[in-house]
Chains A and B, each alone.
Chain A
Amino acid sequence: MNRFLLVRAGDALCALPLHQVRRVVRALVVHALPGASAELLGLAEFAGEPLPVLELARLIGSGGDTAGASSVTVVARLGRAEPAEIVGLQADEALEIVELPAATVTAGSLRGVMAGEALALGRRVSVLDLAAWTATA
């Protein structure tokens, strides 16, 4: 059984593999990086280290432009190796942890960071895979 953290980003629900989630914290202060693509909000400080922070809504192609409105930063790790690269995801709220059997995750409209779609809490959610995204980006 695969466990996921459900996160809301605007109108969209996303499921992040729990093994990729390191921590959920109050939205970090982000410093813009000139020349960055739209989904990269900038850099923040986390645990004494620089952290690239992405806007989750933009990452999944669900709009975005909610600068300043995000209430949480999900600190996620890419891959299982140590030390793993970490990244921040600005989102509106972290909802709960759910179990999504692999068989219930369908290909859906795959793009970018999305690994598939599933149903959770009675809604369609985007299942994310950050590690796969960076491997192909």
Chain B
Amino acid sequence: MSVDYLLLRRDGGLWAAAGESVRDVRSSNGGVHLQLAGGSVLDADEVAGVARDLAVHACGAVLRACWHEPARGLAIYAGEPCVVIDPASPPRALAPRPGAAGVAAPPTLSTEEKA
């Protein structure tokens, strides 16, 4: 079964969210505001792309010793490393910016509408 991923960029870093876990994507304050299936919300600077079937590698012992954020794993997108988000426990680096939630502009993309 193929899995689509939404690639997100924030503060220069690249993150991947499984498409099935994304309920809604809206433009917000010059960036994008995402709602995940579990109810979590994320803010990113931009949607960097969509990828199908990223090869997801488990986070190894070195990464776990030095970085304590939850993640499903790591992958490469267009030659750049990215962190694959655990939708049940999103990283703090993608936490909504203060004042960003609830002020979303009209939707630019809804995964439910696409389906």
* Chain A residues within 8 Å of B, Cβ to Cβ: 31-37, 39-40, 43-45, 48-52, 54, 78, 85, 87, 130, 134-135, 137
Contacts known (A31-B12, A34-B93, A50-B81); A40 close to B69, Cβ less than 8 A = no
The smallest C-beta distance from B39 to any residue of chain A, in angstroms, reads 22
The answer on a CB contact under 8 Å between B61 and A44 is: no
Q: Quick check: is B3 within 8 A (CB to CB) of the other chain?
A: no
The answer on a CB contact under 8 Å between B61 and A45 is: no
* Chain B residues within 8 Å of A, Cβ to Cβ: 11-14, 55, 57, 60-63, 65-69, 74-76, 79-83, 91-93
The smallest C-beta distance from A128 to any residue of chain B, in angstroms, reads 13
State in angstroms the CA–CA spacing of A75 and B62 once bound together: 13
The answer on a CB contact under 8 Å between A31 and B62 is: no
A/B interface sample: 11 pairs, CB < 8 A? A34-B11, A34-B13, A34-B92, A37-B67, A39-B66, A49-B55, A49-B57, A50-B74, A50-B76, A85-B61, A134-B65
The smallest C-beta distance from A111 to any residue of chain B, in angstroms, reads 14
Query: Which B residue sits closest to A34, measured CB to CB?
Result: B93
* Contact residues in A for B80 (Cβ distance below 8 Å): 31, 45
The answer on a CB contact under 8 Å between B66 and A40 is: yes
Which of A34, A45, A87 has the most chain B CB atoms closer than 10 A to its own CB?
A34
State in angstroms the CA–CA spacing of A132 and B100 once bound together: 45
Query: Which B residue sits closest to A86, measured CB to CB?
Result: B60
Contact partner of A32 (CB less than 8 A), chosen from B12, B79, B91, is B12
